[in-house]
Amino acid sequence: MSISKITYCHYLLISSPKIHADILWDLTVLFLTLGGLYFLFIFFFRNRFSSIARKRKSKRAELAPVISNFLFYTPQDPKEEQKEYVRLKIEIREYLGDKNFRKILANILFDLQRDISGDARNRLFKLFIELGLHHDSFKKLSSWRWNTVSQGILELSQMEVADSFQLISKFINDRRGVVRKQAEIAIVSLNDHGIEHLLDTTKYAISEWQQLKLIEAIGSINDYQPPKFKSWLVSHNKDVVLFSLRLIRHFNQNDAAASIAELVKHKNDEVKIAAIDCIQEFNFFDSVEILKKVFWKCNTKVKIQILDTVGKIGNQGDLMFLHEVSSVEHNFAIVSKANGAINTIAPDTVLPTRDIIEDLNTPIVRDKSGLEDSDFLQIDVDCDEVTYTQKAIGIEVDEVEVYDLVADGQSPETTELLSDEILGDGAETVSNIEIEESPLLTELEYELDQSLNQSLGLIDVNLDQTGTKDNLDELREGYQQMSSEERSLFLDSIEKPGHQEAISVLEFIVENEEESELRFRAFNKLKHLDNEIGMEEEIEELPVVPKPEDKLPEYSVFYELYRYASDLDSKAILINEMMDIGDEKEIPLLRNLVRTEQGKIKQLAGKALAYLTKKYPEEVLGSEVHETTDPTHSETLDQTNSSDTDQLAEVPVQNEPSNMTDDDIEDERIPLELCFLYDELGISYDKEDKKEDLGLNFELSAEFFAMIATENQNLEDQ
Amino acid sequence: MKPKRLLLAEDDTMLASLLKYRLEKDGYVVAVKHDGHQMKTAITEQLPDAIISDVMMPYFSGIELVDYLRNDLKTDIPIILISAASNEENVVSALKLGANDFIAKPVSPTELLIRVARELNRYY
């Protein structure tokens, strides 16, 4: 007790408020009164609302048989029923003066019209007008409240009050969205020509949902005869154009081909896509040409739509366009769609090339004429047979036997023999060719086979220069006789069968081709080949640093790994590894990457190159020259980056004898059996004769046998 | 001829009243029930000649009614269901359970009369 006293004395600031006790009582009474009033208020209104609801319910129950009587009355009914009908009509008219009664009656009719159909429903609409309930709805239209106006429009449209058409049509361009949309639906459902009036007068956008509701409203009209909606394709309101296109599709009005085709050129993409959908749905084949022309100026979405349409309604003549799209476009989706369209028109034309695992055990034919650039010919080389397939024209050559074919080490005799076997007996070779195209293409095919054989080293190009010239002349003549499609295929086939020949043919096409598209493609190819030749000439002009014969060519182990690195991360990791564990051999590869790659990879390659250059300064000059004289890596890498090219792309090109690859080094080595023989017999190996010793001929020479015989003789003599 | 007794189960009083009026005008004796309990009680007390029922009913749905009549009471009196057009799944279930016919809302009273007459003629 003493403690509390002390505490109270020390803290004087804390003190109870000095309020008079009477005021507290007054406040208590006030709040209790307010609480009581609040509950009374709630109780009163709750009862009032309940009472009104009960009254309405009872009124509805009371009016239900009256309305039923009105609805199902017929003049043929018995007299008592007729009397009852007249009595009810008089009675109800007395009540119609009451606003609440009218409201209840209108609500009953609104509810019923949703649940009944047929003749009873039509009678219901008539009853609504006969009882004058539509006047209340008219009054609602002049309200300043948007919800009241909207309610009025809804009532009039639901009860099908045709007279309200003019009144409601004023709201078509109302700035209040809800009112406007309600008016649009009412206009369309009230009058068979309401849709025409709407399309003529509306200035606002018609949302897609609203379009669907309007179509639903049109669908509910009995025996509706739609107008020709193509008339509104010229509207200045793009939403009207879009809605018209939708209506054209809905009502299958396929007589608007020209207008729809023109809309493909519309500046609005939505209109374009809607028009393309129509073209696709109605199979307007003539519009495909316009689609192809418009294609190049469209965005990705429209391009995909166009390609989809071309794929569905296009024909063989459109393949050229699709191939061009596939080759020119960079967008994955577009290219995929183009390839899909090609395969739709001509199934299995485009085959999968990405991530296809090749048979790594298959020996690879070495090639000297740049065949690896060609995606025209696909060659599978087995141990003793060659199968090659011409994809573009559809020719298949199989089981051409090539005996002991070794590209680099063969003797001239062997080459000639093989040439005679394969090409000299043309009848036998051609007999295995299944030709699906015209005879003219057969000749072309033969020319291209020759190009292939030249590429394989089976024909010496220099032996038949005049023949080649004649062939080129024939080729040009033949080209002029080809159809557009054949010319396109032929142009596709000219990749790099031999620079000079290809250039001659391409020049001829550029000068003489009438079709601008083909001419353009030929020009691009010609430009490409010219660039390549220019690069090769520059490379030839550079000084060549001879390498010691006993030293392996510098070859980066990262080269192959990098080739198969498909994404940026993998490439970045490889470049970092080069920097960490690489040596001077990686410098040419890195230089190449700096030149060919972009962005992050280029930066990383530059960083790694700087690091390795600093680390191996003495190798820099030599590697620079070596890199320029050895286009193997750069070309192959370029291919890897540029395209999904054929399997032959992995064969490195050898343009100079001095640029030795692993295989060349391998060829220079003596077979192990021969080494043992030389050692046993004490014969010294002469490097000058190694090429004769190696290669195809492993038989021992006559000198060898003579020497053996002499030694045996000596042994016998001893 | 004794008029046929129909049991109309519909929770919408206005529609029920309208249909009752129309059916009675055609000579049927119609009892209207507004929920499942009332309907079940009425059936238990006295089985009608035919039943017209809404599928969506409070407490006791039209499907349950069909199941109750066919499996519990083992009766095959005509049952005509009234259902919204979107309620196809329920209607199919009811028909599988043994309902005789169904009418989609909005109901045409004339059509209902024809269907009722047909079912009654078929059964009796």
Give the model's confidence band at A189: pLDDT under 50 very low, under 70 low, under 90 confident, else very high.
very high
- Is A618 within a domain? yes
Our CA-based measurement puts residue B94 at a distance from the nearest CA of chain A, in whole angstroms, of 21
Does residue A311 surpass a pLDDT of 70?
A: yes
On whether both A476 and A389 belong to a single domain, the answer is yes
On whether both A486 and A566 belong to a single domain, the answer is no
Write out chain A residues lying below 8 Å of B20, CB-based: 68
Interface test with A, best of B10, B18, B24 (most A CBs within 10 A): B18
Taking only the tens place, the pLDDT of each residue in A48-83 is 999 999 988 888 888 888 888 888 888 888 888 888
Domain that holds residue A638: 558-655
On whether both A405 and A521 belong to a single domain, the answer is yes
On whether both A565 and A680 belong to a single domain, the answer is no
On whether both A439 and A517 belong to a single domain, the answer is yes
Nearest CA in chain A to B83: A115
Yes or no: is domain B5-123 CATH 1.10.150.650?
A: no
3-class DSSP state for residue A205? coil
On whether both A393 and A447 belong to a single domain, the answer is yes
Nearest CA in chain B to A67: B18
Domain boundaries, chain B: 5-123
Write out chain A residues lying below 8 Å of B12, CB-based: 111, 115
More confident residue, A115 or A527: A115
Contact call for residues B49 and B79 (beta carbons, < 8 A):
no
Of the listed ranges A154-158, A196-200, A528-532, the least confidently predicted one is A528-532
Could you count the other beta carbons within 10 Å of the beta carbon of residue A293? 12
Task: Give the pLDDT of residue A309.
Answer: 92
Percentage of chain A lying above the pLDDT 70 cut = 65
On whether both A382 and A528 belong to a single domain, the answer is yes
On whether both A452 and A601 belong to a single domain, the answer is no
Could you count the other beta carbons within 10 Å of the beta carbon of residue A468? 22
Write out chain B residues lying below 8 Å of A119, CB-based: 108, 110
Write out chain B residues lying below 8 Å of A115, CB-based: 12, 14-15, 18, 105-107
A68, B22: Cβ pair inside 8 Å? yes
Token couple for A674: 């021969």
Interface test with B, best of A54, A73, A110, A116 (most B CBs within 10 A): A116
Interchain contact B12–A (C-beta under 8 A): yes
Task: Give the pLDDT of residue A598.
Answer: 76
Taking only the tens place, the pLDDT of each residue in B59-90 is 888 888 899 999 898 888 999 999 886 677 88
- The strand pairing partners of A386, in sequence order, are A381, A400
> Into how many domains does chain A fold?
4
Q: What is the pLDDT averaged over residues A526-546? A: 55
A116, B15: Cβ pair inside 8 Å? yes
On whether both A569 and A534 belong to a single domain, the answer is no
Element holding A286 (H helix, E strand): none
Nearest CA in chain A to B19: A68
On whether both A674 and A577 belong to a single domain, the answer is no
Task: Give the pLDDT of residue A623.
Answer: 47
- Is A330 within a domain? no
Q: What is the pLDDT averaged over residues A438-444? A: 50
A68, B110: Cβ pair inside 8 Å? no
Nearest CA in chain A to B85: A115
**What's this model's pTM, rounded to 2 decimal places?**
0.52
Phi-psi label, residue A237: left if phi above 0, alpha if psi -120 to 50, beta otherwise? beta
- Is A572 within a domain? yes
Of the listed ranges A168-172, A669-673, A703-707, the least confidently predicted one is A669-673
Task: Give the pLDDT of residue A247.
Answer: 94
Does residue A239 surpass a pLDDT of 50?
A: yes
Token couple for A38: 């609040």
Taking only the tens place, the pLDDT of each residue in B2-15 is 888 999 999 888 89
Give the model's confidence band at A534: pLDDT under 50 very low, under 70 low, under 90 confident, else very high.
low
Task: Give the pLDDT of residue A456.
Answer: 45
- Is A462 within a domain? yes
Task: Give the pLDDT of residue A220.
Answer: 86
* Owner of token pair 């803290």: A11
Write out chain B residues lying below 8 Å of A108, CB-based: 14
Cα gap A404→A621, rounded to integer Å: 42
Q: What is the pLDDT averaged over residues B101-114? A: 91
Does residue B113 surpass a pLDDT of 90?
A: yes
Task: Give the pLDDT of residue B5.
Answer: 93
More confident residue, B118 or B89: B118
Contact call for residues A582 and A623 (beta carbons, < 8 A):
no
A115, B15: Cβ pair inside 8 Å? yes
Nearest CA in chain A to B111: A118
What single letter denotes the amino acid at residue A607? K
On whether both A518 and A376 belong to a single domain, the answer is yes
Taking only the tens place, the pLDDT of each residue in B33-42 is 998 888 889 9
- Is A496 within a domain? yes
Task: Give the pLDDT of residue A5.
Answer: 53
Does residue A321 surpass a pLDDT of 60?
A: yes
Interface of A with B (CB under 8 A): 57, 60-61, 64-65, 67-69, 71-72, 108, 111-112, 114-121
Task: Give the pLDDT of residue A360.
Answer: 58
Does residue A384 surpass a pLDDT of 70?
A: no
Cα gap A190→A194, rounded to integer Å: 7
Does residue A288 surpass a pLDDT of 80?
A: yes
Our CA-based measurement puts residue A262 at a distance from the nearest CA of chain B, in whole angstroms, of 41
Task: Give the pLDDT of residue A519.
Answer: 75
Taking only the tens place, the pLDDT of each residue in A551-587 is 444 567 777 777 777 777 888 888 888 888 888 778 8
Our CA-based measurement puts residue A113 at a distance from the nearest CA of chain B, in whole angstroms, of 8
Nearest to A120 among B14, B105, B108 (CB): B108
Give the model's confidence band at A175: pLDDT under 50 very low, under 70 low, under 90 confident, else very high.
very high
Q: What is the pLDDT averaged over residues A692-716? A: 69
* Residue finishing a domain among A507, A541, A575: A541
User: What mean pLDDT value characterizes chain A?
Assistant: 73
DSSP string, B98-115: T--EEEEESBPHHHHHHH
Cα gap A644→A497, rounded to integer Å: 19
On whether both A434 and A494 belong to a single domain, the answer is yes
